[in-house]
Structures are given as C-alpha cells and as structure tokens.
Amino acid sequence: MATEIKLTRKDFMSDQTVRWCPGCGDYAILATVQKTFPRLGIPKENFVVVSGIGCSSRFPYYMDTYGIHSIHGRAPTLATGIKLSNPELSVWVITGDGDALSIGGNHILHAGRRNVDLNILLFNNRIYGLTKGQLSPTSPVGTRTKSSPYGSIERPLNPVEVALASGATYVARTIDVLQKEMGEIMYQGALHKGLSFTEIMQNCVIFNNGAWFDYSDRSKRADNDLFLEAGKPMIFGKNKDKGLVHSDNGFKVVEIGDEYSIEDIAVHDPTSLDNAFLLSQLTYPLPLGIIYQVTKPTYCEGMWGQIEQVKAQKGVGDLNALYRSADTWTVVEEGELEIKAEVRGDVESNLDEAYVDEVLGREPLEADLAEQLSGLTLYDLNPKAPITIGPTARMDHALYLMREHRIGALLVVAPDRHLTGIITEVDIQERLAGTGMKLHDVTVQEFMTPQPVALPLDASVLEAVHFMTSKRFRHLPVVDDTLRPVGVISSRDLVEYLVKHL
Amino acid sequence: MDLIAGLKQESVIKMNLADYCTAEADASVKDVLAAMNAQHCHNALILRGGKLAGIFTDRDVLMKIADNPETLDKPVSDFMTSEVVTISKAATAADALALMSLKHVRNIPVVEDDGSIVGNFTHFSVLDFLAEKFPDVTLTHYPNSFRRFSRRRHGG
Ligand SMILES: Cc1ncc(C[n+]2csc(CCOP(=O)(O)OP(=O)(O)O)c2C)c(N)n1
Ligand code: SF4
Ligand SMILES: [Mg+2]
C-alpha cells in the first residue's frame, strides 16, 4: 500500500548559503520550485536537479535533492542519461540563456526532438550573468555589453520558438515575479509526459536590470501580458477589453467593443503547433502560460520498449560476448616494405671518383652498426631517474641536492610536474661561483636555464648523440608525452651503453 | 665492426680531444675560475714547475667552491684532485675509455712522452668519433622527436 508522501518547502531547502546577488530573480524561482516539488507527491529521493554553468546553474546546491552542477551546456545530456537509466526519477534541468542556447544549443535541440521526459527550466535574463555581463543569444539587437561595445548586431533567438522547432511537447513561458503562475506551470510541466520546456523571464539586477520590465512591472503587466488559458478567448488589458483575432498574417490585436465582440476573439488551442508558433512571435501582448502541449511517445518509452521487445525475441544480451563477436581483429606487426627501384643510366660516372672509391671501400660492417644504432631508442638505454626540484626552491637547496646525489644536472619541474628548466654544474661554474651570489636569496627559477632541450623516450639514440656532439650538452632530460621528466641521460651513460651494445 | 673494435683501431691522439686550460698550482681559485670561464673550459690542468700536478673541474667547483666565498682567495691546489689519471698518446681510444671507467673519471689528459699535454680525452671524444663515422645519421640527421620540443631552445 502506497503511503501518502507529505513534504514541505523546508524539505527541499539545503543548508548552502545562496550566493546570488541581492534582488536577483533567481531567488523567486528557487522558492517556487521548492514550493512546487512537495505538491507532486514524489518521494524526495526521486528528484534530481541537473544544471550547466552560470549563475542560474548554481541552483542544485540550494535544493536538498540529488543534483549535478555539470558541464557548460551539457545538462540535458546528463539528465537524459539519468532519466533513461532510471525512468522513476523526476529529472529537472536548470539552465540559462547562455548555457542553453550558446554552448548548449545543440543539446537542447536533441532533448526536444527525442522528447525525453525531462523538465527544462531556462532562466532567461538575456545576458551572461556569471561572467559579468556579456551578450547572450537572447540579447536584443543593439544591446551594449562588454563584448558588444557598439551594440549587438546579432538577431536574438526566441527560446519558445526554438523549443517548438525542436519538437518539445510542452512549451511554456512565465516571469520570475509571477510566483503563483510560475508554480502552476512547473506543476503542469512535471505532470506532462515528455519534455517540458519553460522559459522563465528572469531579472539580472546587476548586469541587465529591467530587461523584462515592460512585462514584469506591476504598472505594465496588465496591459502587456496575455495569460493563456486552454479553450478560453485570448483577451488581455487592464479592463480585459483587448484580444487577439486571426488575421491574414498571424494574430492581430483588437479592442473589444463596437467592431469586435468577445465571440470574435481567437480561442487558445495549446495542441495547435501553428497557433503556438504564431504566439511565439508576439511581443505585444506577451503570451504567458502553456503555449503548446501535446502527447507523443517519449524517449524512455521508445528505448525501454525496444529493449524489452528485442529481449523477448533474442533473449537477454551478453555484453562480453558482443564485444568479442564480429568485427574484431588482431593487429599484426607489418614486415619491412620491400622497395623496388630501378636505376637507369650511368650514375657512378657523375660522381667524384675519390668519393666512389671511399664508398666502395667502406667496411660493410659499418653499415650494420649504423642500422643497429638507428634502431635503438632512449627507452633501450633505460635512463636514470631524474632528480628534480621546484622552481621556487632556493639555490642553496639545489646545491645540496646536487652534492647529495653527486649529479651534474638537476631538472626543474613546475607544480604540474612538467619540465621547465635545468641547472647543471656548468651553469654553477660559469654563473654562480665567484659572483658573490647569496645562494639563499636566489630562487631556482631565477638561475635555471629555462625550457631545455628534452627528448621523448622513443627518440632514437642517434638524436641524443646529435645533441651531445653538436651542442655539447653533457645531460639530456628525457620526458613523457606531457613533458614530464622520466629520466636524464649523461654523455657518460650514453657512451657506456653504446660501447656495451654496439 | 663493433664500436669497441673501432676504438681499438683508433689512436687516442686521432680522437677529438677537449680543450682545457692550465693554471699554476699556487694561483687563486678566483683566478683559475676566471681563466676557465674566459676560455669556456670546464676543467683546468694544474701545473707545478711545468709538470702536471692536479686537475680542477666544474665538479670541484660544485662540490667545494660554489657556496664558500672564502675559498676564492685560496690556492687552487687546496681543492684540485692531485692524482691525475693520464694516458700516453701512444694508447688507443679503447684504452682511454677503459681507463675512464676503471678510474671513474670524466677527463683523461693525453700526454706526450716528455709529459707535455696534448689534449683532454672525454666522453665527447667517443661520441664525436661515432658521429664522424656516421655523419649521415648523427650530425646531419635531423632529430625528429625533438621537433615536438622545438620551442625549447637552451641546453643542459
Ligand atoms: C566551456 C566553457 N565556456 C565558457 C565558460 C564561461 N561561462 C561561464 S557561465 C557562461 C554563460 C552563462 O550565461 P547564462 O547561461 O545565461 O547564465 P546566467 O549566469 O546568466 O544565469 C559562460 C560563457 C565556461 N565556464 N565554460
Ligand atoms: S549576476 Fe545577475 S543573474 Fe547572476 S546572481 Fe547577480 S543578479 Fe542574478
Ligand atoms: Mg543568462
């Protein structure tokens, strides 16, 4: 027997300090979500709140539910995975206009067309709040921001229109100041099977204050906002004396009176996509409420249905067997390519005779040696482990290490452990001894040779010979792919190895 | 031919011997250092009465001088290695190399019968020998792997 679940707003308030600016519209949205969740009769542990990046995306911290503050723009993808793996959950996506429509534009579209059973709340403040006020994809043409100092030249996206185009099956719009209406829209969205998408017009009091005043301010709301109700005529205005009628190109605003009666006013049909698109275009009045709602198969139903069906036909799958089934192959090392070349004409006669004699007279074994040499890598040489020091250490410590280990070269590594410099006994002879330098006052990074030549482990031994003979380096650091030192070779190491192995 | 066989055939004076500088045993450490730096040498052969009395290298500087300013005015003979391993110019490069690992030294002065110095045998002598034998694969061989690090200019 299912017991009734009794939760209150308090159950959804976390112990985290809310870090939005005083007066930010996000507070009202948070409060509304916390009031709406208890109404849903869902166990607390079945709520998941997933967000991307932005001020708005800090939301999950403030909800005492499971949640993920995820990757910029990717909240819908994580949420899709969560919902798919456990369809019992009530999954909420919190995103901003930047998060959802700039970097996350692609993910929003796919969540829509798949009709994943998620509840997306898009906080639209027409600005990047978190990064301190740059243009967002919903900022109007002409908006001056730090990233558009002479006014935006980009036409903005309309979130409702984008959601409709993507195939979302529930598309609504509300404003942060309208807590009651907002709560109802969230509630209906949660009940909706399939993707519910709600644009919440939100005021960023710091970087875009008043972006929605025409619709949110008490003095203007009644005149400019159209509260949609399914099956009801679309009327608005302080005295409910204006309405929408169909015209050749969309909706037309008319006064209810002599010319038009209430009977002439168009009725809101949330199941009509045409109607929804037309409404999405209006800015006067601004349609608020559920703009579009239809029922279509959800992604989870489709996916789980398919899985059950295939299981019934083919039995339960075996992942391991699948991995090892067709389309796998073993890569075998290829032999040397045989090069077939043809030499025409008399090549030798054009060459210097002495040189030809020398070449012909060369001990053939030398060629063997060359070949052997070119096959050897520093890996074969098994370089000694490097002795390292940090760049901010003092030179007296460097000296101590070199003496203690009786080594002629010390590798300097940055905090992320990549090679950034080298100190050798040659440097100490040439630039330190006799200069009166106070070792304790000098840091390693001030003294070192920055960014020394380094070789990877798979470098040919010949490359080491090259650098040692041509540059007279007595020590060469050996590094891995991320430039972290894995060894050091000295001219002595190299010679001893070569003598032993060649 | 292996490398050792090649070195056995090569007389030590045919090898590329390193530069060295000389100083008198009673010269101050400061002066010897100045001479080494001026001549870009990393070792000084120390003479007393025209005869080789010791060797003073960058390793000695590291171990004994670097953080002791009071050593600078003392005679270099206090800090040099007096037992110098030398080799006759009649020896082969292989002999020199064997001596090097036997005595665990990095510099072997090559001397004439009368004791005068010809040059300094080091590990670079062997590497140069190899490089000259195979100029195509060592000296002119463009180091491929290094390309990845080509921003890194200076050496160690
Ligand atoms: C991959 C990546 N790119 C860029 C950013 C910088 N960044 C952080 S938040 C943000 C935009 C936030 O805008 P919005 O989604 O509207 O959230 P708001 O702060 O307005 O609520 C950007 C571009 C980032 N954090 N990560
Ligand atoms: S910057 Fe704007 S959106 Fe972000 S917390 Fe402050 S008021 Fe809210
Ligand atoms: Mg924003």
Q: Is the model more confident about A499 or about A157?
A: A157
Residue B133, pLDDT score = 72
* A402-441 confidence digits (pLDDT tens): 998 899 999 999 988 889 999 999 999 988 888 888 888 8
For residue B117, being part of any structural domain is answered with: yes
Q: Which residue has the higher pLDDT, A435 or A125?
A: A125
User: What pLDDT digit, counting tens, does each position of A329-348 carry?
Assistant: 667 665 554 444 444 444 44
Q: What is the pLDDT of residue A25?
A: 95
Residues B46, B48: Cα–Cα separation, whole Å? 7
The pair of structure tokens assigned to A218 is 């008490």
Which pLDDT band, with edges at 50, 70 and 90, does A483 fall under?
confident
Contacts of A151 (CB under 8 A, 6+ apart): A141, A142, A143, A144
Residue B156's pLDDT is: 40
In chain A, the percentage of residues whose pLDDT exceeds 70 is 91
Q: Residues near A221 by Cβ (< 8 Å), separated by ≥ 6?
A: A215
Residue with tokens 């032999």: A335
Please give the residue range of the domain that contains residue B55.
Answer: 3-134
Q: Average pLDDT, stretch A449-473?
A: 85
Res. A367 pLDDT band, cuts 50 70 90: low
Distance CA A124, CA A247 (A): 30
Strand runs labelled E in A125-224: 170-175, 196-201
- Taking alpha carbons only, the member of B32, B10, B14 closest to residue B23 is B32
Q: What pLDDT does A347 receive?
A: 44
Closest-CA residue to A160 (of A268, A56, A75, A281): A281
Region A205-209 average pLDDT: 95
Question: How many A from CA of A59 to the centre of ligand 2?
Answer: 12
Asked if the model's pLDDT at residue A354 lies above 70, the reply is: no
**Is the model's pLDDT at A139 over the cut of 50?**
yes
Verify cis geometry, omega within 30 degrees of 0, for the bond prior to A285: yes
pLDDT attached to residue B5: 82
Report the distance separating Cα A367 and Cα A188, nearest Å.
Answer: 82
Q: Which residues of A touch B18 (CB under 8 A)?
A: none
Q: What is the model's pLDDT at position B144?
A: 55
Residues from chain B contacting residue A471 (CB–CB below 8 Å): 155
**What CATH number is given to the structural domain containing B56?**
3.10.580.10
User: Whole-angstrom Cα distance, residue A359 to residue A348?
Assistant: 11
Edge-first strand order for the sheet with B108-111 is B87-88, B108-111, B117-121
DSSP state string for A355-399: HHHHHHHS-HHHHHHHHHHHH-BHHHH-PBPPPEE-TTSBHHHHH
**Residue B140 maps to a domain:** no
* C-alpha distances in Å from residue A186, one per residue of A31, A52, A196: 12, 19, 9
* Rounded distance between C-alpha atoms, residue B1 and residue A373, angstroms: 13
Mean pLDDT of A454-463: 85
Would you state the torsion angle of the CA atoms of residues A472, A474, A479, A484, taken in this order, to the nearest 10 degrees?
Answer: -110
When pLDDT is cut at 50, 70 and 90, the band that residue A62 belongs to is very high
Q: What is d(CA A12, CA A47) in angstroms, rounded to the nearest whole number?
A: 10
Question: From the CA of B95, how many Å to the nearest CA of chain A?
Answer: 12
Closest ligand 1 atom number to CA of residue A53: 9
Give the mean model confidence (pLDDT) for residues A237-266: 94
pLDDT (mean) for A114-125: 98
Residue B116, pLDDT > 90, answer no
Query: Got the DSSP string for B63-94?
Result: IIITT-GGGTTSBGGGTSBSS---EETTSBHH
**What are the structural domains, with CATH classification, of chain A?**
9-231+269-302 (3.40.50.970), 233-267 (no CATH), 323-501 (3.10.580.10)
Residue B79 included in any domain: yes
Closest CA to A115 of A71, A83, A75, A160: A83
> Which of B104, B103, B133 is CA-nearest to residue B7?
B133
- Contact between residue B93 and residue B12 where contact means Cβ atoms under 8 Å apart: yes
* Mean pLDDT within A458-473: 83
The pLDDT score that the predictor gives to residue A227 is 97
In chain B, the number of structural domains is 1
Q: Which of A114, A66, A71 is nearest to A92 (CA)?
A: A66
Examine the pLDDT at B141 and tell me if it is beyond 60: no
For residue B103, the distance in angstroms to the closest alpha carbon of chain A comes to 13
Is the Cβ of B34 closer than 8 Å to some Cβ of chain A? yes
What is the nearest CA distance from A360 to chain B, expressed in angstroms?
Answer: 15
Q: In this structure, is residue B139 part of a structural domain?
A: no
Q: Identify the pLDDT of residue B153.
A: 36
More confident residue, A186 or B149: A186
Chain B residues touching residue A413 (CB < 8 angstroms): none
d(CA B155, CA A455) in angstroms, rounded, equals 12
> Is A21's C-beta closer than 6 angstroms to any atom of ligand 2?
yes
**Sorting pLDDT into bands at 50, 70 and 90, what band is B135?**
low
Residue B145 lies in a domain: no
The answer to whether B137 touches A462, Cβ cutoff 8 Å, is yes
As a whole number, the mean pLDDT across chain A is: 90
Judge whether B51 lies within some domain: yes
CA distances in angstroms from A382 to A410, A411, A413, A497, listed in the order given: 18, 17, 21, 10
Distance A130 CA to ligand 2 centre (A): 7
Q: B41-86, pLDDT tens digit by residue? A: 899 999 998 888 999 999 999 999 998 889 999 999 999 999 899 9
User: What pLDDT, on a 0 to 100 scale, did the predictor assign at position A228?
Assistant: 98
Token pair for residue B125?
A: 């002598």
B 71-100 near A (Cβ less than 8 A): 72, 97
Matching residue, tokens 């229109």 = A161
Residue B22 has a pLDDT of 92
Closest C-alpha to A75, from A35, A44, A103, A55:
A103
CB–CB contact B144 A455 (8 Å): no
Among A33-47, A156-170, B96-110, which stretch is predicted with the lowest mean pLDDT?
Answer: B96-110
- Mean pLDDT on B140-154: 45
